[in-house]
Amino acid sequence: MKSKNETSRRDFIKLGGTATLGLSTLHLTGCKEGETENVAKSASNQKGNRRFPDDFVWGTATAAYQVEGAVKEDGRGMSIWDTYSEIPGKIKNNDTGEVACDMYHRYKEDVQLMKSIHAGAYRFSISWPRVFPEGMGTPNPKGLDFYDRLIDELLANGITPYATLYHWDLPQTLQDKYGGWQSKETSKAFAAYAAYVTEKISDRVKHYFTLNEFYSFTDLSYGQGQLAPGLKLPQKGIVQVRHNAVLAHGMAVEAMRQSAKSPLEIGVAENIVTAVPVMDTRENIEAAKNATRELNAGLLTVMLEGKYTDKYLNSLGSDAPEFTDEELKLIGSPLDFVGINVYLANKYVLAADNEDGYELLPHAKHHPTMASPWHLISPESLYWAPRLVKELWNAKEIYITENGCGATDEMTNDGKIIDTDRVMFMKNYLTQLHRATSEGIPVKGYFHWSLMDNFEWIFGYGIRFGLFYMDYETLERTPKQSAAYFKNIAKSNTLI
């Protein structure tokens, strides 16, 4: 005879994608001995279906200013984030990245952390002002030495390095001299820096991301005054900043391919604005596609299509960016893969009988969030973002360059960090990622943001994103429950 619990277990399994959540809920609510065994057995029976593709890459990600510290060491120049975080009131608690996780000195220990959770890849960013203290001109050899040591340590431990060339730490000199991203001089300087780095490390590093999250370092930094350098330009200025940023990307792709010593794989790491269909009907999926293309028109869309959409240019009128056909060609340089940072469904969308064919819905007032106020919980984004990238732009390879969540983790008296909220987040998001790979969407890898708690920009050290907990007094690193969860998945290449 079947017990009630067993019936509901079967129902959960029938639901497919939601089975993971169902099984663990049952487990936690404490079913009887024999039933627990049945649950475990059926989970293992499902194993075949729960595997990720054989060569799937499991990694973690960080960014230079958020983890390195050592901001005045070995000839590093100032960046706009050093300047910005010194202005009282800009950063929560007036925190700065001066020490951060001190990874500059502790990278060997941190490579061991990666190894301990079975991460096969590491996405780190290179600090432009370490390599070129003034953004251009004479390089500082000691700056690149650090990345040489880090890369060698990763390779010696069987971890594949993925380098990001820009994660928001613009050399202060370029801000002072040219107004930073307001000038194409900065785009040119970026391409020269990117080519220099590639020439030096392409013998050991094959995978590169040019720039990280354009919207953050363009609109939020030059338009809304939230992130460094904290400017509030009028629309025309912001639109030009966006253009100069995508131009930097395109110029760098070309320059890097020329300077490389062996063939490179280059992509972008963009915080795609994802429109998710409220209901997965054919009309709504079409609506989500069209909406996603337009919502990214000034950034990802132009990089992948080599042209601005008519709608984007028309809506801007005289504020449209100044550009040439030659620039557009560079901006649309062919890429080897598309990297997307996916945290949420930026918009929910429905098909509509209007000119656009879609309607963007406002977020419901009580939509649940994680610790960061912007972070609406929407696991389906990790299915829809790669699917839309594949369908819109026929991407051959896709990486999830960031996914993760902030929490206010605390250590218990006996030294544990029980972040069941993060495990819940990962379980649900990864279920949707698995849905994508099992449908043949070419996602090649997943980088969890972040390896360890770090300097969370304007939120300072208060919101923690790590799989490892950081004691900011002692700089001791401790694995959280989520680190164990990540390890199980990475080791088995299976959704658990």
List residues near ligand GBH by CB under 6 A: 63, 66, 212-213, 216, 220, 226, 271, 341, 343, 373-374, 402, 449, 456, 465
Measured from the CB atom, is 157 or 226 closer to ligand GBH?
Answer: 226
Closest residue to ligand GBH, judged by C-beta, is 374
* Helix, coil or strand: residue 141: helix
Measured from the CB atom, is 166 or 308 closer to ligand GBH?
Answer: 166
Q: How far is the CB of 359 from ligand GBH (least distance, A)?
A: 23
What is the C-alpha separation between 100 and 82, in angstroms, rounded? 12
Q: How far is the CB of 101 from ligand GBH (least distance, A)?
A: 13
Q: Indicate if 402 belongs to the active site.
A: yes
DSSP string over 405-441: --B-----TTS----HHHHHHHHHHHHHHHHHHHTT-
Out of 134, 270, 294, 402, the active site residue is 402
Measured from the CB atom, is 61 or 330 closer to ligand GBH?
Answer: 61
Q: How far is the CB of 245 from ligand GBH (least distance, A)?
A: 14
Measured from the CB atom, is 66 or 173 closer to ligand GBH?
Answer: 66
Q: How far is the CB of 74 from ligand GBH (least distance, A)?
A: 23
The answer to whether residues 208 and 198 touch, using CB atoms and an 8 Å cutoff, is: yes
Helices 282-295/381-393 angle, 10° precision: 80
Phi, psi (deg, nearest 5) at residue 243: -60, -45
- β-partners of residue 358 are 351
Closest to 268 (Cα-Cα) out of 228, 217, 234, 200:
217
Measured from the CB atom, is 20 or 62 closer to ligand GBH?
Answer: 62
Closest to 218 (Cα-Cα) out of 204, 201, 237:
237
In the block, tokens 């990001």 appear at 164
What is the C-alpha separation between 65 and 424, in angstroms, rounded? 28
Helices 4-14/19-28 angle, 10° precision: 150
Measured from the CB atom, is 189 or 370 closer to ligand GBH?
Answer: 370
Closest to 319 (Cα-Cα) out of 247, 237, 257, 388:
237
What is the C-alpha separation between 469 and 451, in angstroms, rounded? 9
Q: How far is the CB of 478 from ligand GBH (least distance, A)?
A: 20
Closest to 143 (Cα-Cα) out of 74, 70, 64:
74
Q: How far is the CB of 454 from ligand GBH (least distance, A)?
A: 7
Measured from the CB atom, is 174 or 342 closer to ligand GBH?
Answer: 342
The answer to whether residues 169 and 127 touch, using CB atoms and an 8 Å cutoff, is: yes
Q: Indicate if 68 belongs to the active site.
A: no
Q: How far is the CB of 166 from ligand GBH (least distance, A)?
A: 11
Phi, psi (deg, nearest 5) at residue 428: -75, -40
The answer to whether residues 208 and 264 touch, using CB atoms and an 8 Å cutoff, is: yes
Out of 213, 270, 327, 456, the active site residue is 213
Q: Which are the catalytic amino acids?
A: 213, 402
